[in-house]
Structure 1
């Protein structure tokens, strides 16, 4: 691509309507070379070498279609549990017809055999005796449940009959894995790897483990930690085969998920809502929490899936049932669920009379069970969101030191005894029991510049401002700011004095505020929106115009329900920069310094810069106008239909790489690709990137970026090409829309945090030191990637960030790119420590999170935000704060 030399452009000039996008075709780039700079250290990786002793083995893939003879068995035919039973029974019954082939089944539609079946197509019949709990799920004939169709209970022996169609699809030779290890991009190599992963998955499913993709969890109580609310953190393990630069490996790691505590449903609801009296249960909330959970009844030991709840309590909810008199005549009568169990089934109900029943039927055929007879099954994943307290407790109780994690990984490998697995043996797979040894490199930490251009040299990824001042401190005059207090525990005058003292020690001129506002006690129990409205009326009465800054004291951290309405009011309506705090009892200088760093950043100050920024000596960046973008998409809690939040931050004031501006949009739920980078509308481009580009032009005297470095967070390997074909092409369209005939050079890097590769020092129980980079042995055999520890881990085992370079038109040398990524972890203005991921991505996280707190993004938010194409639309940030780092 041709590069602009930084020429000036007409920002508001005419836009060629006929211009068409160049729509280039991209491919994932190959690794150009390996890095060499840095101090060498010896490491272990949680990868185990895999040898293929039978490379000529061939996998044959077939699709399986299961059709029930009775339409009422449709759900069973689609169930993974039933699917495995059906396929296992199929190979038992028809072992001769299928030539006793070893098989792998993914629980859905794929069947893989080692070697071919005698025919390409089969259609076979399988009969299963239904010993499961849902044998009479529709009837009351045995008192298992009430409501629905009683005829179902008459099905003799509860036999289920299925037709199983098997159809040949493809061949995957094991030899293709060897080609993938040499850098081949053939799809059958990845398909063969997926087969090996399915073998692992099938093994754990047969052992009764909870299977979540490539993670496995058992019901061992020693692996569960209570985090409150009726849920536990369940410790399991992850295992997957990986093609690496050093050969085929098995990646094993410790994994954690949230599991519902087994036991009485009623006890779960009381714990989940943190109450003791069942009469205080919020049943609408309970209905949402329980939906799709599996239960077992204590009176007949049958299993069901919860589909809803009765609208009436147990002693008022009726259903129709047939009864026969002494003459043999039948009639239909209405009976309450409570009376049925008490009088017909002779089961004493002590707590259910006034409580709703659980519905385990279908919308048109409800089936009711008294709640006290129902127990939640073990090993059920909890897919709803955790509170901040639960999240903190989970992190604390599931944390392991590097030494402990190494031991747990070794135990997982030994416990699974992969060397005894007949399918792996049949494939000729041999797994080494020793962790992979490799060499890492520790890069020198970058030097920072503080006030008076004084050097600030980090140690172990940390630094401080003791005896130092801020590089560009802000100024707040007496009548420009206020302190407001929603907490009755804080002395505002004392807080003000201490903050001003700290600011002056850091070179910032902050005068005592003209206004101190306390919340009226009468409003403390009101709705948060009302409390915020009342406080802003007080502010308006004290100031002739909006103040420049407000320090807001909240009563509690993170969970405070005032935060969202407060930020919405200040940022969107009044255009006021605010900083929310929950000060500790003993306010120390370190705490106030961290608060000051955030305030200074929001008010356009600069806390520190990289020395190479000041000297204009960043390779390929300081010499050519360069813009850095970071993009992220934040999704709602698992299982929710909340809209997703897309955030993009862009650098400004080139050649600086420490100042950013944000643009945020709401998009469809679970949509990972950002669809509004370029969005043509009635008034031109209404997308996210346009304002960031115009801001770059403005802060650089009309200079456009000749280079653009794009960091993308949150996408998986399967989505790498979409980043290039969907998102990058949108960015190109924005430039074309602004009238550019030449495009900047692009470098696109994906940053991944959600992976399972960990590194351990070979000669120390401590965490890997900050600055460690690994780009050999366990990296991709062809693609351009590397792992980096930019931060210094204190608690638990540090996790590296996996950087994948998809495109590099700028042409960085590997060492220069790795040093740039390392340096970008030191420009995070909110703290005095390096962050694990580059600072621009962290800012995108913050911007997305703050927006989701400002607005209720649940399905009830339609009355609060305008809707377009079914997605809520955000109002514009107030022009006074639009270009600030309000998200800091």
Structure 2
């Protein structure tokens, strides 16, 4: 098996060794023949030192000099030190040049002036991050002594440092070419101890390297603390300027996400406003409410578990957040735990002495947080349990009930929904704070950094608006609203399906809604271009789950096209049972409707029309399409839902089946990781279905993958892409693959600069593919939808693998077109339609069905 070529110090050692061999050959020295059997040889630097020593002791004829064995007093350390210094010098002279940035820039569309929430960071000449190795003589085992000795030396040199107490030291300047020794005195019980601190130069680090970027992020973390921002989780918030919403027992903290990265145009600071929503209610008060409304202890514990486990709490005494994994009903604040000295102390005494907090209820249960942490000196992680007192643990975030309450969300949105101008103003206020703070400026100056006065401004492009095609070649030209909801009611669908055999389930209380719904469906059929007949009504005596199960088993036949359920309330357990029956046991398309949505007579027509369009898709029909300038291409979408059965994940894999990219084939795959394990079999199956449908294999395949973070890109390329390529090799196909990763959870914001100099949300189709894109990836940002309130979130696309050799304009235009094809919304969406279909499929299977859906439904969008 071929080994990869050596890198870094290994490459330097190899080069040095080859140079010595050339010099020896020039004077006639031949290498010794290795014996047939020999003990294991030393490796790395030790092997090189031994080889050089043997060469120096050799005679020109190749025989070694006859020397007596060295006595213990005749040490060879001085010679070894000399060689080490030579090797170190050779390593330090190696040039670690940075890779050139990758450009993936298109030119289609009309120009538009843009701004982004990135601030340029400039680095002074001959400044950067220099890596050194630190050695101590005598050797220091204690980490605190190593840090003290190094701090003394750096204080004398007047340099800032980043040193974790190990062997690696980072400095902003190159203080020595090879090695240099400094003396430091450490105070001890027996007097001062003199320590020799040797600094060995390694290299200047590239800005894009992980350790280097981590260091710059640490610097801005210091600046956030200097500016009195409080860290909550990963972000920083201003706890002194919170917004109170007393009517809902909420408070909102404004803050920032601060990250430093090496982008296409250099070192950048990404600064985005964030908000943290906290409840003024603590966990103890919530438990009290649940106990008073449910006096039965068993029912109370069930509700407490459902409401608290999995939630995030905030402890004000240390400004930390914790996720609750359990409730210790058998523990109270009276219980004890060992402190740092090993002595037992109760939670009551601990909070009183450490934080001056008096616990009022000494019998309340404790909340449990578990996390895996690294232990000093070990690579393994150990589980650490944190016990929290509900009385001082404040709930964060919004409950599902709050999210479904329009008034709550409207009041919260007054503070969290920030316009582009407000967002930019907040960024400028932050920059002014940094400029006016001497301490913050000193942190930047120590490392040769200078921050720009304002955000970046750069040219972008807006792609042309798409034409939507309906049935009978009817067309609709979209505009900057990117919405064609009215056109869907005025035009026929592209692939109508007659509904002649369908069932309508309802209870007595919803009898009128059911009749009106059926009549309206029949009238809408003509406008859609299909025939919709009256359904066969099935009246249920009650709304128990068992009644729905029994009714399905007794009434659904092989001729049934689709079943519709009008439910009096939305209950997750009932919905799960209906979907499980209709997707696995008796495979048939199903539609579940909450009767409340049919209660408003002013909106009922538009609502029923959307339901009719959904039902058409679930029967294999199509609604609209856009024009694609290619033939024989297959478009795939992949997404993963976490929290599937037995803690695993569900991967949704969706692929197009026709030239107009309007019919889809869907597979759900159960797996144990985010990166798909079973793509090979699913990809093979989809290729077979494509061939059976079209008579040939696709010429090109574009895979759009959602849910891959930056840390998983390389793994995804080696693992998922390779599975697909291996399938094509096994089938002997010359089909090319373009693999694109979609990222939604990003901090980059893009603004359009208006004529008056202000900022607003960019129009749909806006593309930004330079300056703030990744330095070593083919990527771009796309704004596909129109947002009237708040600030739009662009979508980040990374072309991870491309044997199709598509141009930037082709990839960008294709992704934008696919954002028009999600049949659950008559407008553009944030991600391409196949990704959203894969997301819906994986979520339905992972949350409700929890089994592989029937293959009879695979060629329909049964999960809309």
> What TM-score, normalized to structure 1?
0.69
Pick from 177, 188, 193: which aligns with 2:213? 193
Superimposed CA distance per residue, residues 27-54 of structure 1 (whole angstroms, 9 cap, x where no aligned partner): x998565211212111111112222223
Cα gap change, 1:519 to 1:696, in 2 (>3 Å): farther
Quote the offset at 1:171 in angstroms.
Answer: 5.0
Is 1:537 matched with 2:556? no
Is 1:748 matched with 2:724? no
Quote the offset at 1:385 in angstroms.
Answer: 9.3
Instruction: Verify the 8 A CA contact 1:44 1:435 in the aligned structure 2.
Output: yes
Quote the offset at 1:606 in angstroms.
Answer: 0.9
Is 1:173 matched with 2:173? no
Cα gap change, 1:361 to 1:714, in 2 (>3 Å): closer
Superimposed CA distance per residue, residues 146-189 of structure 1 (whole angstroms, 9 cap, x where no aligned partner): xxxxxxxxxxxxxxxxxx99998985637x44xxxxxxxxx64x
Which residue in 2 is equivalent to 1:399? 417
Quote the offset at 1:425 in angstroms.
Answer: 0.8
Instruction: Verify the 8 A CA contact 2:242 2:252 in the aligned structure 1.
Output: no
> Which stretches in structure 2 are left out of the alignment for 5+ residues?
1-98, 189-194, 339-344, 352-356, 372-383
RMSD: 5.0
Superimposed CA distance per residue, residues 302-341 of structure 1 (whole angstroms, 9 cap, x where no aligned partner): 99999965544869x98899xxxxxxxxxxxxx9999999
Quote the offset at 1:509 in angstroms.
Answer: 1.2
Aligned residue pairs, count:
718
Which residue in 2 is equivalent to 1:344? none
Superimposed CA distance per residue, residues 248-282 of structure 1 (whole angstroms, 9 cap, x where no aligned partner): 322211124565x4775412545799969897454
Which residue in 2 is equivalent to 1:469? 492
Instruction: Verify the 8 A CA contact 1:245 1:781 in the aligned structure 2.
Output: yes
Superimposed CA distance per residue, residues 471-508 of structure 1 (whole angstroms, 9 cap, x where no aligned partner): 1211111x333244597596210122122222322222
Which protein, 1 or 2, shows the higher relative CO under an 8 Å CA cutoff with sep ≥ 6? Answer: 1
Cα gap change, 1:45 to 1:560, in 2 (>3 Å): same
Structure showing greater Rg: 2
Quote the offset at 1:594 in angstroms.
Answer: 1.9
Is 1:648 matched with 2:660? no
Which residue in 1 is equivalent to 2:809? 815
Tell me the secondary structure at the aligned position of residue 674 of structure 1.
Answer: coil
Cα gap change, 1:488 to 1:589, in 2 (>3 Å): closer
Superimposed CA distance per residue, residues 384-423 of structure 1 (whole angstroms, 9 cap, x where no aligned partner): 9998538993667522122222222222333344774323
Quote the offset at 1:201 in angstroms.
Answer: 2.0
Q: Measure the CA separation in 1 of the matches of 2:498 and 2:685.
A: 27
Q: Measure the CA separation in 1 of the matches of 2:309 and 2:200.
A: 41
Task: Tell me which moved more, 489-498 or 304-313.
Answer: 304-313
Which residue in 1 is equivalent to 2:28? none
Which residue in 2 is equivalent to 1:506? 528
Instruction: Verify the 8 A CA contact 2:183 2:197 in the aligned structure 1.
Output: yes
Tell me the secondary structure at the aligned position of residue 200 of structure 1.
Answer: helix
Superimposed CA distance per residue, residues 14-33 of structure 1 (whole angstroms, 9 cap, x where no aligned partner): xxxxxxxxxxxxxx998565
Tell me the secondary structure at the aligned position of residue 453 of structure 2.
Answer: strand
Cα gap change, 1:99 to 1:304, in 2 (>3 Å): farther
Quote the offset at 1:765 in angstroms.
Answer: 4.8
Correspondences of 1:774-789 after superposition (within 5 Å) = 774-789=768-783
Is 1:574 matched with 2:586? yes
Superimposed CA distance per residue, residues 420-469 of structure 1 (whole angstroms, 9 cap, x where no aligned partner): 43231122211112121111211112212112111122222111224211
Superimposed CA distance per residue, residues 672-715 of structure 1 (whole angstroms, 9 cap, x where no aligned partner): 3111112xxxxxxxx332322222122112x1122111111122
> Which stretches in structure 1 are left out of the alignment for 5+ residues?
1-27, 70-76, 78-82, 128-163, 178-186, 322-334, 342-346, 524-530, 679-686, 856-873
Tell me the secondary structure at the aligned position of residue 404 of structure 2.
Answer: helix
Tell me the secondary structure at the aligned position of residue 839 of structure 2.
Answer: helix
Cα gap change, 1:337 to 1:34, in 2 (>3 Å): closer
Q: Measure the CA separation in 2 of the matches of 1:388 and 1:571.
A: 29
Cα gap change, 1:501 to 1:246, in 2 (>3 Å): same
Which residue in 2 is equivalent to 1:870? none
Cα gap change, 1:90 to 1:565, in 2 (>3 Å): farther
Cα gap change, 1:448 to 1:560, in 2 (>3 Å): same
Q: Measure the CA separation in 1 of the matches of 2:423 and 2:134.
A: 39
Is 1:731 matched with 2:724? yes
Instruction: Verify the 8 A CA contact 1:89 1:126 in the aligned structure 2.
Output: no
> What TM-score, normalized to structure 2?
0.71
Cα gap change, 1:441 to 1:387, in 2 (>3 Å): same
Tell me the secondary structure at the aligned position of residue 254 of structure 1.
Answer: strand
Which residue in 2 is equivalent to 1:885? 861
Instruction: Verify the 8 A CA contact 1:35 1:775 in the aligned structure 2.
Output: yes
Greater helix content: 2
Which residue in 2 is equivalent to 1:325? none
Cα gap change, 1:548 to 1:233, in 2 (>3 Å): farther
Cα gap change, 1:845 to 1:290, in 2 (>3 Å): closer
Task: Tell me which moved more, 626-635 or 749-758.
Answer: 626-635
Q: Measure the CA separation in 2 of the matches of 1:166 and 1:581.
A: 74
Which residue in 2 is equivalent to 1:760? 751
Quote the offset at 1:57 in angstroms.
Answer: 3.8
Q: Measure the CA separation in 2 of the matches of 1:421 and 1:467.
A: 62
Cα gap change, 1:273 to 1:747, in 2 (>3 Å): farther
Instruction: Verify the 8 A CA contact 1:450 1:607 in the aligned structure 2.
Output: yes
Task: Tell me which moved more, 538-547 or 463-472.
Answer: 538-547
Correspondences of 1:27-66 after superposition (within 5 Å) = 31=102, 34-60=105-131
Superimposed CA distance per residue, residues 716-763 of structure 1 (whole angstroms, 9 cap, x where no aligned partner): 233222222100111123334xx5123411111111111111111211
Pick from 143, 146, 160: which aligns with 1:102? 160
Correspondences of 1:215-614 after superposition (within 5 Å) = 215-220=235-240, 222=242, 234-257=253-276, 261=279, 265-270=283-288, 280=300, 282=303, 284-285=305-306, 288=309, 310-312=328-330, 352-353=362-363, 355-356=364-365, 374-376=391-393, 389=404, 393=409, 398-417=416-435, 420-459=440-479, 460-463=481-484, 464-477=487-500, 479-484=501-506, 488=510, 491-520=513-542, 523=544, 531=545, 533-545=546-558, 547-556=560-569, 560-582=572-594, 583-586=597-600, 587-610=603-626, 612-613=627-628
Correspondences of 1:657-736 after superposition (within 5 Å) = 657-668=661-672, 671-678=673-680, 687-701=681-695, 703-736=696-729
Cα gap change, 1:361 to 1:786, in 2 (>3 Å): closer
Cα gap change, 1:357 to 1:116, in 2 (>3 Å): same
Q: Measure the CA separation in 2 of the matches of 1:553 and 1:165.
A: 81
Which residue in 2 is equivalent to 1:145? none
Which residue in 2 is equivalent to 1:114? 172
Superimposed CA distance per residue, residues 357-407 of structure 1 (whole angstroms, 9 cap, x where no aligned partner): 568999xxx9999958x4137xx9779999853899366752212222222
Instruction: Verify the 8 A CA contact 2:467 2:476 in the aligned structure 1.
Output: yes
Quote the offset at 1:555 in angstroms.
Answer: 3.9
